[in-house]
Structure 1
């Protein structure tokens, strides 16, 4: 393999594909190098939730731009997408208070719901809640391969099952030979330390492991929106600066300290076939322990069953998601001329990548 591309993308997950999409729209030749036969990482192990509204700062801007890109790409590439929003179910007065504060800041991005309206949309009981109409849902197991096929049909060269050994200005060395590059974008998520260990150490990049499960739908009906809870308020930047959040955090720590310690984000989405993707917990390390603690799955199953008001849930699949984590939501650095390293270090790659990529390429190609 001796060839050349205007842009070489290392990694065929959603962040890498987002850069490839933007480069194609600019008329550039693109090559994507991926060590596996297809995307197997965080890009296909997530909720498929475009969690736009709960972001803050730069992430919110990227998410809003990415939302438009997802809707357009779903039409062009022919994958399933629903503009069904998100319902955050409030089960305590302090959570309703936070949603009131959130609505004051975000206006019509946050629509208050009564307890009856929450039940009608989700089947879940509670004191009330809010609907975030800007949020979207896709099936990541379908959407990511569909994006790769769409790109291949537009001239992007994919080098599957190809390991990148070296990266330098103008040249990517792979297990199948050299690849000349006008510019290089490295989108390998938590594996950034495999290629740039000093950079990963400098910015404190770690791996975050998530426990997630697919369960049979206990209701036997469509639940169109994604569903978040009070635990979710502790996980997303959009809630972080709200005065009422500390009361929610203090109560949850008092009532459910093990769940808060496990980083529980109690939420779910429904797959097109009806099953629910539920989760998730968060555990951080540079090198993760390979053994999954059953206790974490029990936390997720018990709390989801309680949320849904059912006695038990039938598990169909279990898996561990892994994403890059650091002290910032994005790590966008240039270790050498013509090379950008772009891991999303906050678990929001699917939500933000299509907004982030154009900004990265604007700077890199200039």
Structure 2
């Protein structure tokens, strides 16, 4: 009788959950160790957007589509909200509309991208401000979950499976060979996966220092549940998102658009602000966000940044209730060399899985399968 291979996964955020799911499906015995009573990091502090449109064609886009399929599967099994919404990127200038048309032409037959008229936008989105609207980019690929609900319920579901165990409230302070330690307690397995976000620097400071990686702080808010079950339709973005995502770089007019934004919105670009909104199953609206990069991030949130986000959002969106229910910041690791992930074998036993920047919800489930496949 053969013994199942065993693994320890450090971190119960979306990356750790993705590795755990992939391992369990391949017949591994998995123990997940999380330093908090439940996931509290960037995995629960985001829009909940599964966002293939932001990814470049090739491995990243394919990984995003695979991740979306897994999210659908997990939503059904773990019973959390997931909605295939698609997305709208709104255009209010001729140049923004030119970028939309260039992008859709480049993606013809490849992605679901389509240019819409203002009338078509109005039919999809009661939340869009139509005054001055030139049109929009429509994509059918995007999906929304509520990260707070989805990450929690996915962990509970995985914990219910055979040969999966979650250990909460234990911080791993060192790893020696295939054994991990939290104070005097220790656990051993055939493989160890370090999926603890930027905190991996605590376990492997030399690796962190030698890696082209930094940290990003973002500020976000959540508006209250909209009255009378009012829905915004697809999540909304405006022009600043065109210059944020690499997927749009196929549009030839993008450099010109970026140059105009640098003159028109210097403060927004300096703060890394591009504005988006998504709606969860309860009807609450998540809005944001800003991007501050570096290793000495401001521990204090700036109300001025939140107000800039709200003010820009009001130029293209209209809601029933703008009351803010909560605000927060999140911090995630991001590669500085353009890589979409950081997967490093420390030795035969230990692998770090990290570095997806702000695309963790979009890419992690796909990456988890890829990492486990190569063992």
TM-score in terms of structure 2 length:
0.92
Q: How does 1:174-193 map to 2 (within 5 A)?
A: 174-175=182-183, 177-193=185-201
Q: Is the 8 A contact 1:89 1:228 kept in 2?
A: yes
Q: Which residue of 2 aligns with 1:53?
A: 53
CA distance in 2, matches of 1:54, 1:109: 13
CA distance in 2, matches of 1:46, 1:175: 32
* Residue 349 of structure 1: how far off its partner (Å): 0.6
SS in 2 for 1:15: helix
Q: Is the 8 A contact 1:20 1:30 kept in 2?
A: yes
Q: Is residue 2:90 matched to residue 1:89?
A: yes
Call closer, same or farther: CA 1:311–1:302 in 2, change over 3 Å. Answer: farther
CA-based RMSD: 1.9
Match of 2:158 among 151, 154, 158: 151
* Residue 316 of structure 1: how far off its partner (Å): 1.4
Q: Which residue of 1 aligns with 2:119?
A: 116
Encode CA deviations 1:45-88: one digit per residue, 9 max, x unaligned. 10010001220143212101101111111111111110111111
Call closer, same or farther: CA 1:74–1:278 in 2, change over 3 Å. Answer: same
Long gaps (5+) in structure 2:
none
CA distance in 2, matches of 1:6, 1:287: 38
Long gaps (5+) in structure 1:
none
Q: Which residue of 2 aligns with 1:77?
A: 78
Call closer, same or farther: CA 1:85–1:276 in 2, change over 3 Å. Answer: same
Call closer, same or farther: CA 1:25–1:145 in 2, change over 3 Å. Answer: same
Q: Is residue 2:341 matched to residue 1:330?
A: yes
CA distance in 2, matches of 1:267, 1:185: 33
SS in 1 for 2:346: strand
SS in 2 for 1:329: coil
TM-score in terms of structure 1 length:
0.94
CA distance in 2, matches of 1:169, 1:334: 12
Call closer, same or farther: CA 1:253–1:17 in 2, change over 3 Å. Answer: same
CA distance in 2, matches of 1:141, 1:284: 24
Match of 1:139 among 135, 140, 146: 146
Q: Which residue of 2 aligns with 1:342?
A: 353
SS in 2 for 1:39: coil
Q: How many residues align?
A: 361
Call closer, same or farther: CA 1:166–1:244 in 2, change over 3 Å. Answer: same
Q: Which residue of 2 aligns with 1:277?
A: 286
